Amino acid sequence: MAVRVLIVDDSGFFRRRIAEILRADPRLEVAGFAANCAEAVEAAVRLRPDVVTMDVEMPVMDGIEAVRRIMARAPTAILMFSSLTHEGAEATLAALEAGAADFLPKRLQDLAADQAEAGRLLRERVLALAGGGRRARAAAAAARAPSVATAPAPRRRPVPAAGRHGLVVIGSSTGGPVALQRVLAALPAAFAAPVVVVQHMPASFTGPFAERLDRLCALEVREAADREPLAPGRVALAPGGRQLYLERTDGALRVRLRDPQPGEHYKPSVDVALASAAETVGAGTLAVIMTGMGADGREGARRLKARGGTVWAQDEASCVIYGMPRAVVEAGLADRVLPLEEIGPALAADVR
């Protein structure tokens, strides 16, 4: 049975263009169109599509409110289209909190320079979201549930020196922004290890995302800067479009950033970060591989395990897309497999 897609955009040209791209794959069917978000909510309830594609910026009702209403009345995997600007990032992150499953740049040439490749990536993303539709709806419902992530962050206080695990590295992709918020908000200000987060995200999004996490968490969250030292109680978020790795200089563990090399598909890459953690910290590293497409993190986890490190994976039921964790689990690299709601408390109990 074909995956049915509802296309929502105020531009008739863009609706036709997305329909043309999707129809190039016989596994995809255009279930209908909507020109504004009010129409989108009605169409989602009436047509019950498998996936909705929607622009963040829409007339009549903004995309964020439309996501809330669709998830309340007809929970569906929703793919947002967003401009790669600071304002677009803020709106997209709010839409993800409201229940959207993933996002892509509105300008498809920002997705890939080659038009055919951009179309292929869009179809691949829609198919993946449809395959994880049940999990996407469950994850969205969990995101709307009350949690410490929506509570004011407690006052920060001094933190102790790192304990048994001297470093935590978290990798995620599709579904990661909301999942990371829930995990990091469960960690106390006295968390005894530095945290590095590698989330697949455009360069214009990681700064606003770090700011959002910083407002919601007891830990201090920053977009990572080159040569900055890592410290307990702080979270370094890998900048989009760069590769983050670690090195020891002047007695301190520091973040290093470089431009991607040819053949490096993910920018930032979990594999790159974990491989450097394996070399610089080794057995003192705890890696957590969370929701996302593909297998980024598997080879880095393999190198980490060879150095005595520890690897946790998010379980299938709580993932929006069970790709990255599946790759780690099926390779026999996961020491623990945990549902999303248990990862933060488990980290808090393990690293102290």
Active site residue 173: yes
Cα–Cα nearest to 127, from 226, 242, 1: 1
Look at residues 157, 174, 168, 171 and name the one whose alpha carbon lies nearest to residue 121. 174
Query: Residue 274 CA to chain centroid, in angstroms?
Result: 17
Handedness of CA 224, 261, 101, 332 (dihedral sign): negative
Which residues are CB-contacts of 78 (< 8 A; sequence separation ≥ 6)? 51, 52, 53, 54, 67, 70, 71, 95, 99, 100, 101
Catalytic residue among 173, 204, 269, 318: 173
* Annotation marks residue 296 as catalytic: yes
Q: CA-CA distances (angstroms) from residue 309 to 254, 281, 295, 315?
A: 19, 9, 19, 20
Give the C-alpha separation, 217 to 235, whole Å. Answer: 10
In 3D space, the residue among 300, 324, 313, 302 whose CA is nearest the CA of residue 346 turns out to be 313
Which is the catalytic residue, given 9, 102, 271, 296? 296
Q: Which one from 82, 200, 204, 271 is the annotated catalytic residue?
A: 200
Tokens 């090195």 sit at which residue? 247
Tell me how far CA of residue 299 lies from CA of 181, 230, 275, in angstroms. 25, 23, 8
Q: Which residues are catalytic?
A: 173, 200, 296
